[in-house]
Amino acid sequence: MASKFDILKEILKISAIELKPIQEKMQEYLNSDLRLGWLINPQDEEVEIYRANSEVEVLQFPVSLSGEDVLPGFVLNLPSV
């Protein structure tokens, strides 16, 4: 079982066929008190943002991601990933 996370980053280097199990794993993390998770898919140039008690937000490859209120002031610059 996943431990409690404040932030989780999954970088994918897999095909879309293998994406579904990772999306399901992200939902499991949310059920284990994850507050903010990023599923980064460089192949499709998409980022899925998982937040507690919210629908998944899908962004077309943004320049950066914010730690929001989970990690105030933290910014992940995606070109460096």
pLDDT tens for 18-32 read 888 889 999 999 999
Q: Which CATH architecture best describes the domain 7-80? A: Alpha-Beta Complex (3.90)
Mean pLDDT of 74-80: 84
63: number of Cβ within 10 Å: 8
Tens digits of residue pLDDT in 52-67: 999 999 999 899 999 9
pLDDT higher at 46 or 9: 46
Q: How confident is the model at residue 15 (pLDDT cuts 50, 70, 90)?
A: low
pLDDT at 39 over 80: yes
